[in-house]
């Protein structure tokens, strides 16, 4: 059996298991690639080296995740986000559409640093309580944040354009400039999608609760009931007198994260080390906060490490490169001149089976070589593949930042793919068609 076939079967099994929800992500991302590597003839010693390289590529994300969850959990405990949540609810007046559109705009601003992880760290903890308060689907939050961040991911200091520029051996800023109109159109489409899905969400809330006011009042009743049975210790978690100090601490940590002064994991580690004694003077209280948030953080960190094994095996065995080359070879020769457009239109599904590196460093050069033989400019090929692929960045299970977002929101990968794939693929194809119509492709 060829290496590419083994790799393709392995990835399809993993994606199927994740979508089906029959097993937890750790099982899906450990057993299939392990068996695939053994079928390809690799020894356990070699698999161990793949594990080492794969884990080393995600270890910083795992460390950041652990301390980010604990840090934002503490900030949630002490009531940092309560004023923001209350003002957003008052501003929206229960208007689900306003919240949906606001989510797109906030995510776009948050992604100006080009980091998906920091975007999710900034937006999810702050907006998730608003969605819960208004009885909105949290998967809508992830779709809107991920879609908005994906459109903004065309900025030159983000990963995809940097990879593309290195393949084409050109300046990344020059590569980006023609994409600015696509970004603007993409954001308009995301706002339109937010309005459309917001209207749909509003109808669901009214259907389930009778009215938006009933949903909000039900939430308040539940909160009051929960508050009445909370222990005195839990009631004392809020620190209203330290609100501005905690806000300054959170903004400083995020600012350091965006500026890249120190590694993100270290920034959150320092943040946790300051936040605990600042808000909880007793050692037992500090340990209680760690115990409260550690299970979720460690669970998702273990999933990220499992993803490291998955990526390490697929990269180390050469399965991803083999898939990228063989997929192109089996295509009929009559469609070769339009191969870049076809790949662009199918780029979001490609995101489910190819890592970002495999897509840009393995598939792009091969497609470019074939298309160039039929007179297609390399820039045209690159733009078709970038525009088509980039919208699906945060739908793919191969995105470590997406796992971070899922952990922050307490959501499942399979349900997210089912909820978001149709909409993101639709926007991707629209943008490719628009790229052709305005002459970029």
How many whole angstroms separate alpha carbon 103 and alpha carbon 88? 11
Nearest Cα to Cα of residue 391 among 368, 422, 362, 416: 422
The pLDDT tens digits for 296-306 are: 788 778 887 88
Dihedral, 184, 189, 194, 196 alpha carbons, nearest 10: 160
Dihedral, 101, 106, 109, 112 alpha carbons, nearest 10: -110
Report whether 293 contacts 15 (CB < 8 A).
no
The pLDDT tens digits for 197-256 are: 999 998 888 887 766 655 555 455 344 434 433 433 444 777 888 889 999 998 898 788
pTM of the entire predicted model: 0.68
User: 78 φ, ψ to 5°?
Assistant: -85, 0
How many whole angstroms separate alpha carbon 121 and alpha carbon 130? 16
Report whether 257 contacts 404 (CB < 8 A).
no
The residues, any chain, with a CB within 8 Å of residue 376's CB and separated by 6 or more, are: 337, 340
Residues in the chain with pLDDT values less than 70? 1, 21, 84-94, 113, 210-235, 258, 324, 327-328, 331, 333, 362
Q: Classify the phi-psi angles of 398: left when phi > 0, otherwise alpha if psi is within -120 to 50, otherwise beta.
A: alpha
How many whole angstroms separate alpha carbon 35 and alpha carbon 41? 10
Q: Is 410 helix (H, G, I), strand (E, B) or coil?
A: coil
Burial of 330 (0-12, 13-18, 19+ CB in 10 A): exposed
Report whether 341 contacts 384 (CB < 8 A).
yes
Nearest Cα to Cα of residue 10 among 318, 302, 402: 318
How many whole angstroms separate alpha carbon 177 and alpha carbon 169? 16
């Amino acid at each position: 059996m060829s290496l590419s076939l083994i790799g393709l079967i392995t990835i399809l099994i993993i994606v199927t298991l994740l979508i089906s929800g029959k097993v937890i992500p750790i099982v899906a991302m450990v057993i299939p690639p392990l068996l695939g590597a053994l079928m390809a003839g690799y020894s356990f010693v070699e698999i161990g080296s793949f594990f080492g390289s794969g884990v080393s590529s995600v270890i910083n994300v795992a460390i950041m995740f652990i301390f980010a969850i604990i840090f934002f959990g503490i900030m949630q405990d002490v009531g940092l986000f309560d004023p923001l949540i209350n003002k957003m609810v008052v501003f929206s007046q229960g208007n689900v559409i306003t919240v949906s559109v606001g989510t797109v705009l906030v995510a776009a601003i948050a992604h100006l640093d080009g980091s998906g992880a920091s975007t999710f760290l900034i937006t999810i903890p702050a907006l998730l309580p608003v969605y819960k308060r208004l009885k909105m689907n949290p998967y809508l939050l992830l779709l809107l944040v991920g879609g908005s961040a994906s459109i903004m991911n065309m900025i030159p200091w983000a990963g995809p354009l940097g990879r593309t520029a290195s393949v084409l051996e050109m300046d990344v800023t020059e590569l980006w400039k023609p994409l600015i109109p696509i970004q603007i159109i993409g954001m308009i489409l995301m706002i339109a999608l937010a309005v459309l899905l917001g209207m749909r969400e509003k109808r669901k809330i009214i259907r389930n609760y009778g009215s938006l006011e009933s949903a909000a009042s039900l939430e308040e009743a539940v909160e009051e009931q929960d508050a009445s049975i909370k222990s005195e210790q839990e009631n004392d978690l809020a620190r209203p007198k330290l609100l501005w100090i905690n806000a300054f601490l959170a903004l400083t940590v995020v600012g350091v994260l965006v500026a890249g002064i120190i590694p993100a994991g270290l920034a959150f580690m320092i943040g946790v080390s300051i936040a605990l004694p600042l808000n909880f003077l007793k050692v037992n209280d500090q340990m209680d906060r760690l115990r409260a948030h550690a299970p979720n953080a460690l669970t998702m960190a273990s999933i990220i490490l499992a993803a490291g094994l998955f990526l390490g095996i697929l990269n180390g065995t050469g399965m991803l490169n083999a898939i990228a080359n063989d997929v192109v070879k089996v295509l009929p020769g009559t469609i070769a001149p339009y191969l870049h457009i076809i790949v662009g239109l199918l780029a979001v599904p490609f995101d489910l089976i190819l890592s970002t590196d495999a897509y840009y460093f393995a598939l792009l050069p091969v497609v470019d070589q074939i298309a160039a033989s039929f007179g297609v400019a390399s820039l045209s090929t690159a733009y078709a593949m970038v525009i088509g692929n980039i919208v699906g960045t945060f739908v793919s299970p191969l995105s470590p930042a997406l796992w971070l977002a899922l952990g922050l929101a307490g959501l499942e990968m399979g349900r997210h793919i089912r909820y978001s794939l149709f909409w993101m693929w639709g926007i991707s194809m629209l943008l490719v068609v628009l790229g052709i119509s305005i002459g970029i492709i």
